[in-house]
Amino acid sequence: MAIFSLLLGLAGKALIVLVFLLVIAFLGYCLYIRHVHMKYDHIPGPPRDSFFLGHTPTILKIMKSEVLFHDKLLEWAETYGSVFKINFLHSVFVCTTSPEATKEILMSPKYPKDKFVYKRLFSLFGRRFLGNGLVTARDHEQWYKQRRIMDPAFSSLYLRGLMGTFNERAEKLMLKLTEFADSKTEANMLHLVNCVTLDVIAKVAFGVDLDLLTNKSPFPMAIETCLKGMMYYLRDTLFELNPKNRPFINEVREACQLLRATGARWIQERKAAMQKGEDVPKDILTQIIKTAGKEESMTAEDEEFMLDNFVTFFIAGQETTANQLAFCIMELGRHPDILKKVRKEVDDVIGMKQDISYDDLGKLVYLSQVLKETLRLYPTAPGTSRDVLEDMVIDGIHIPAGFTTVFSSYTTGRMDKFFKDPLTFDPDRFHPDAPKPYYCYYPFALGPRSCLGQNFAQMEAKVVMAKLIQRFHCVLVSGQTFDILDTGTLRPKSGVRCHIKHRQHNE
């Protein structure tokens, strides 16, 4: 009994010491946070919520609410100017809309991607997600090696050869829309274009026919689950600790596993074909295999590295294009005068022919303007961020080294100082003779880390929109919201619900 009492007493003392040490550690952390924040006190910004934690409570509240974070950035930019700070825990985020700073930082390879965001995308709830793929790799040499190997899959010559697939998959959408028009049933356009863009990337990047407009597949739901999980993982550090969230977390893990297991199977099938000396396309899948080097020296980490890029292209190759198409359909439905102009151009260039050629795309000038204006108002990848490890002066404000700078193409695209009447949908802003936006329009980012697939995406979008405009009216269902949903990418919250009607070409 005496020994038990002694042990109990020692345990009690140890607990007291542990609590004391935790309190000391917490106070030390708070003092460290305060020290970091004080270096940036001279930079304007919204009022802090607390002396130590800066804007952390506000940011967490924004992240968990329906308020679009980039709308808040727009509000702060209009209030505090082209440079303002946000103190979040022990980090300082400097948000800027300065074109010169945008040019300096995004166009240079010496500013790595923000570790707070991009390192967390390595995995989701313990399952490897984007890893060190082309989007998330922070080391410049590691990224550059991948980019150099991937470039041939996006050369203009190779993209020209994809026109047949773009036309074929778009035709399947036209057949599906014919069913909606004939049955007079409501169509969810976001879902339909998602099926098409996922079909396209599966076919042209990985040589696989999914035919999602006809067949059921777990992939669309897996991608949506991963993106939703990604937002919780980035925005709520305590999400994983809540027992109520376990079922959803397991769904996210299973979705990650499905995508990576699918990638492993497709990669092995392609490698087997290459070993047999079969002709294989110079597509993304072939390039992904080449990124890992010689097969005989391939390690388990090399295999995971290939899967990182598979998941990256599988998701990014369809998600952003589908959202752009849905937003474009939504805006044309709200602006019949613009629809009339783009319809005339499509009729003049395409006429009644079924297959659109690569040369036709270059003649669809106004449609290009419409798609660019869509991305100005609704940049599907709304922002990016970089770590700055040296002192910098932005618009006359000295900023000490060690901060993260945030660029929001959504914010700059909606500011009066860059675009007149910015909330008005006006494709003439991008007329060939109009002044080019000076580092305030970057829906595909800028510089060496700009989106590798932007030309691919815009060719695909043009083919789908041209065929849609050529053959159908999309009449927006009344009463739906035109709000934006942030799932890592921006998408129309309502899904863009339409009644589909056949066009009468004698009108």
* 34-43, 64-73, 310-319, 342-351: range with highest mean pLDDT: 342-351
> What pLDDT, on a 0 to 100 scale, did the predictor assign at position 349?
96
pLDDT over 90 percentage in the chain? 56
Long-range contacts of 500-507 (CB under 8 A, 24+ apart): 500/177, 500/180, 500/181, 500/187, 500/472, 500/473, 500/474, 500/475, 501/181, 501/472, 501/473, 501/475, 502/178, 502/181, 502/471, 502/472, 502/473, 503/470, 503/471, 503/472, 503/473, 505/347, 505/352
Reported as a single tens digit per residue, the pLDDT across 98-150 is: 999 999 999 999 999 998 888 888 999 999 999 988 889 988 888 888 888 88
Give, in order, the Cα–Cα distances in Å from 328 to each of 201, 274, 331, 427: 20, 40, 5, 11
Q: For residue 94, count CB atoms less than 10 angstroms from its CB and return exposed for 0-12, middle for 13-18, buried for 19 or more.
A: buried
> What pLDDT, on a 0 to 100 scale, did the predictor assign at position 285?
85
| Residues 34/50, Cβ–Cβ less than 8 Å | no
Which DSSP category does 302 fall into? H
> What pLDDT, on a 0 to 100 scale, did the predictor assign at position 190?
96
Reported as a single tens digit per residue, the pLDDT across 264-304 is: 999 888 888 888 888 888 788 888 887 766 545 567 777 88
Helix (H) or strand (E) holding 486: strand 484-486
> What pLDDT, on a 0 to 100 scale, did the predictor assign at position 66?
58
Pairwise CA distance, residues 372 & 328, whole Å: 10
The radius of gyration computed from the CA coordinates of the chain, to the nearest angstrom, equals: 25
Pairwise CA distance, residues 360 & 462, whole Å: 10
- 451 known member of a binding site: yes
